[in-house]
Every structure is written in structure tokens, then in C-alpha cells.
Amino acid sequence: MSNLLKILFTVVLLSLVIVIISQNRHPVRTLAWILVLILLPGLGVVLYFLFGTLKRKDRLISDQHLNQLKEEVTKANSLMLRRQVPGGHEDLATLLWMTNKAIPLAGNDVRIYTTFDEMITDMLEDMDKATDHVHFEFFKFEDDAVGRKVGEKLRELASRGLEVRVTYDSAANISRHRFYRWLRKGGVQVRAFLPVVLPFLTTTTNYRNHRKIVVIDGKVGYLGGMNIAERYSRGIRRGQWRDTHMRINGPAAAELQTAFLVDWQFCTKRFVSGSRYFPQVESCGDSIVQIATSGPMDEWKVTMQGMIRLITQAERYVYIESPYFIPTEPVMMAMKNAALAGIDVRVIIPYHGDKGILVPLASRSYVEEALIAGVKMYFYSGGYLHAKTIVSDGTVCTVGSTNLDVRSFEQDFEVNAFIYDKEVARKLRDAFLEDMNNSTRVSLEQWRKRSRWEKFKESFARLFSPIL
């Protein structure tokens, strides 16, 4: 019997190796998984099914339904469609359209937030003014003082007869079932994205919905890096929590609506559409905004490709902020090429992580490579940096949920706004420069003086980059 089991296990192992090879992944990743299966045959099989399977054949929504939602967007905002964007960024806008059907929409008023308290105050005020529906989607929606305050508002809106829909990432909120039951009892429609019972016993655990989206009456939207949690207001042990979020008032809220409804259908298997969710919105400002989404089930790595294009087309400067710095090879090459070409490339990251040690260690393993190419690297010292922004040449910028790491680019569901507006770009540039004043610049000479033990820990942590 034992011999038969050994034969069966060997067949399974060889079959997995053949499957991995036939998927045409990056050679390094292919070889890495094969080595894991060979060196750790039992554990390796488990790890592969948890973290190594590809989901690109699955779909969040059918092309038919997606096209229907996009038609609703264009029908309601026909006068605000922009085939050309200012500042010579037509290639970026075209890229996002071709890979994601992201529609550039004019007439938006964009408000940038660098503090949580200001953002949540405005969001609750906007929600209180809602007359038809509120759609609410967050990676983390915690059961604390802030979460309860927001939850009370959602329950109040539902009691007034509004449609209130909430989605949350199941793996990130595994212990908050009582809180979500409380919301449901208050009339709120609540669904978990990729629900899991035991987080380490499902192949979808490694795929997380990292998006932060709020849509109010199809006219006002919020997105960015902030979750719903008390620590965003009071900070953490190392100091104030520094993040960036944004409010969109105008036609581009319709594209945030599309992103939410796609996720809602995936969660509920019910397609929601119609003019009540895509009302006609008059021009509210001067910003052209393009909403781009990405996820492991997509054909293209949309946000990564958009960021690469944003970096490579820079003529004067590129300023980047990210809490995690584990770039893919194409992103790292884009930054290095820009710096080597004389572009002022600056990156601010935290030295310490918000949790655990592997992520900050892995992030530091990429610092020397960037410094050698001339990228100016800074460690934020004013608290904990969680902002996810890129601004280039004072004409274009992006704000969203996407970190500069492998997980965001390849495993998580993300949403970013690409904004073509000098005033918004200026505000993000000013925020970056203020953060830079609260950061410590690292020189190549100084960085190379780290101990061999520190370098080894960083290199070891880097091995786990795809799943961090």
C-alpha cells in the first residue's frame, strides 16, 4: 500500500511540474516552484495549491455585462468623454483604455486628503446627503470606534430606505463576522469577497481584494490608501499614520461605480445596472480622471503597466511613495532607466513595517540596486507611511490602493485613479516634499556599510516576495 501511495504521489508531483512548465511563467518563478516541489515534496504541493495556482481563466464579470456597464458610463457622460488628455499623456490614456477599458472623463472636482480625520468627516457628510444608494468597499473595515461610527451611518441610511451595499475582503476580516451580522441586521447588504472559512485551507487565500471604494448616488466617489480603522486616526506605536486618499465629485464617479458593481456581481452572482446608478452628472471641476482596475484574473497587469508608462514618459521628475517597496523587474527597470537618463527619481518608503518583519526586510533588499542607478531613496521618519502615490512633471499623477510591490501587481485586486491636472499634481508634489522633509535620505556609501547579517536577512526575506 505504501508503495502504491508513493507511486501516486510521484505521479501527482510530476503532473504539477508539467503544469507549471506549460503555464509559461517567468523562468525564475517556474524554476522556483519546481525546486519547492522537489525539495519539499509534501509541503511543496500544499504551498503550490495555496499560493501558486493561476486564476486568470476565471472572470469577475462577463464581457457582455462589463460592456453594458461601460455603455451606461458613456451614455450618462457623453459630453465629458476625452479621447485626448493634456500634457502629452495620450499614450498613457490609450494604454489604460486598451488594457482596461478605462474611460478618461473630464469635469471632475478632485480633493486630496493626507489625514484620515479630514477624509472620514467629508465622507460621512457626503453619505448623509445621499438620496438613493451608497456603495462601500474596503480591504479592512474594522470593528472599532471608527468602524462602529461608519457602521451606524450605513445602518441609518438603510433605515431611511436607501440601498446600502458593502463588500469587504474576507481573508483580511476573518474575525469580524459579528460586526458584519450587526450591519446586516440594520438593513445593510453585506457580502464577503472570496469568502474563506479557514484562511490557510483555500486556494483563494493569496488573492485579496485590496480596493477602497465608496460611491454615493453615482455622483461622488472615494478611493485611495485608507481603510476604515481607528489606527488611521490615532496612529500607531511609531507615530502618526500617514496616508493619501481622494474624493471625486463628477463624471469619473461612474467609473468607480463600475468597479464596485463588477465586484458586487462576483460576490452575489447578481448583475446590477441602470440609470439610477449612472445618473447624468454636470461638470464639477477641471480634472480629467481615468479609473483603472487590476487583479490576478485580468489579462493585463493594468496598474503596473500604467505606472511604468507614467515613469518612463517623465521628462523632469518622478516622485513615488509606497509603504512596501518590492517592485517587479519591469518597474525596477523603469525607475533605474529614468534615473540613469537624468530624470529626478525620488522614492519614500518606511523603514519599519506596520506588522511583521519580512516585508520591511524584503523592501530594503531593493534599495542598493535603486541607489546604484541614481534613484534617491528616503526612509520616512514622521510615523508610518502608507501613502501610494506617483506624481510626474507636475502634470499627471496617480492615487489608489496599489502598492509598489509584487503582491499588488500580481495577486491583489486594486483600483487607481490617474489624474491629468496640474493643480492636483501640484498638491501631491507638495505633499511628497513635506513627507521628504520628515524623511532621512540614504546614500549608497552609507547603505553599503550594513552588516553582512543584515544583508543576509534582507536577501532571505526577498525570497518570499511573491507572497508577502
What local confidence, expressed as pLDDT, does residue 205 receive? 57
388 noted as active-site residue: yes
What local confidence, expressed as pLDDT, does residue 4 receive? 75
What local confidence, expressed as pLDDT, does residue 76 receive? 85
Q: Count Cβ atoms below 10 Å from residue 98 Cβ, excluding itself.
A: 12
Q: pLDDT-based confidence at 256, cuts 50/70/90?
A: very high
What local confidence, expressed as pLDDT, does residue 235 receive? 85
Q: Report the share of the chain in percent with pLDDT over 90.
A: 68
Q: pLDDT-based confidence at 203, cuts 50/70/90?
A: very low
Pairing of the two strands 133-138 and 163-169 = parallel
Reported as a single tens digit per residue, the pLDDT across 30-81 is: 776 677 777 677 776 666 666 666 655 566 667 888 888 999 998 888 778 8
Reported as a single tens digit per residue, the pLDDT across 85-118 is: 887 899 999 999 999 999 999 999 999 999 999 9
- Determine the 3-state secondary structure of 423 from DSSP: helix
Burial 32-71 (b: 16+ CB within 10 A, else e): bbbebbeeeeeebbeebebbbeebeeeebbeeebbeebbe
Give the predicted TM-score (pTM) of the model: 0.89
| Identified catalytic residue from 133, 153, 210, 457 | 210
What local confidence, expressed as pLDDT, does residue 34 receive? 75
CA distances from 251 to 69, 277, 280 (A): 14, 12, 8
What local confidence, expressed as pLDDT, does residue 62 receive? 79
Reported as a single tens digit per residue, the pLDDT across 326-376 is: 999 999 999 999 999 999 999 999 998 776 788 899 999 999 999 999 999
CATH of the domain spanning 63-92+103-289, picked from 3.30.870.10, 3.40.50.1970, 3.20.20.150, 3.50.50.100: 3.30.870.10
DSSP 79: G
What Rg, from alpha-carbon coordinates, does the chain have?
22
For 141-199, give the DSSP string.
Answer: B-SSHHHHHHHHHHHHHHHTT-EEEEEEETGGGTT-HHHHHHHHHTT-EEEEES--SST
From 39-43, 252-256, 294-298, 383-387, the region with the lowest mean pLDDT: 39-43
Q: pLDDT-based confidence at 418, cuts 50/70/90?
A: very high
Residue recorded with cell 450591519: 183
CA distances from 161 to 184, 255, 353, 372 (A): 14, 25, 42, 59
386 noted as active-site residue: yes
88: left (phi over 0), alpha (psi -120 to 50) or beta: left
Q: pLDDT-based confidence at 302, cuts 50/70/90?
A: very high
User: Whole-angstrom Cα distance, residue 236 to residue 374?
Assistant: 33
Closest CA to 255 of 213, 304, 198, 311: 213
140 noted as active-site residue: no
Chain CA centroid to CA 332, Å: 18
Closest CA to 246 of 418, 395, 436: 418
CATH, range 302-467? 3.30.870.10
Q: pLDDT-based confidence at 398, cuts 50/70/90?
A: very high
Cell of 413: 485586486
| Identified catalytic residue from 143, 393, 421, 435 | 393
User: Whole-angstrom Cα distance, residue 387 to residue 224?
Assistant: 8
User: Whole-angstrom Cα distance, residue 313 to residue 338?
Assistant: 9
Arithmetic mean of pLDDT over the chain: 89
- Average pLDDT (284-298) is 94
212 noted as active-site residue: yes
What local confidence, expressed as pLDDT, does residue 19 receive? 74
Q: pLDDT-based confidence at 21, cuts 50/70/90?
A: confident
Reported as a single tens digit per residue, the pLDDT across 407-416 is: 899 889 999 9
User: Whole-angstrom Cα distance, residue 67 to residue 463?
Assistant: 40
Cell of 454: 543584515
| Identified catalytic residue from 217, 243, 405, 421 | 217
User: Whole-angstrom Cα distance, residue 307 to residue 314?
Assistant: 11
Residue recorded with cell 462577463: 62
User: Whole-angstrom Cα distance, residue 344 to residue 335?
Assistant: 10
- Average pLDDT (211-234) is 96
Q: Report the share of the chain in percent with pLDDT over 70.
A: 89
CA atoms within 13 A of residue 221's CA, in its CB half-sphere: 32
User: What is the rounded (10 degree) CA torsion for 160, 164, 170, 173?
Assistant: -40
- Average pLDDT (289-317) is 95
| Identified catalytic residue from 336, 386, 427, 457 | 386
Does residue 188 surpass a pLDDT of 70? yes
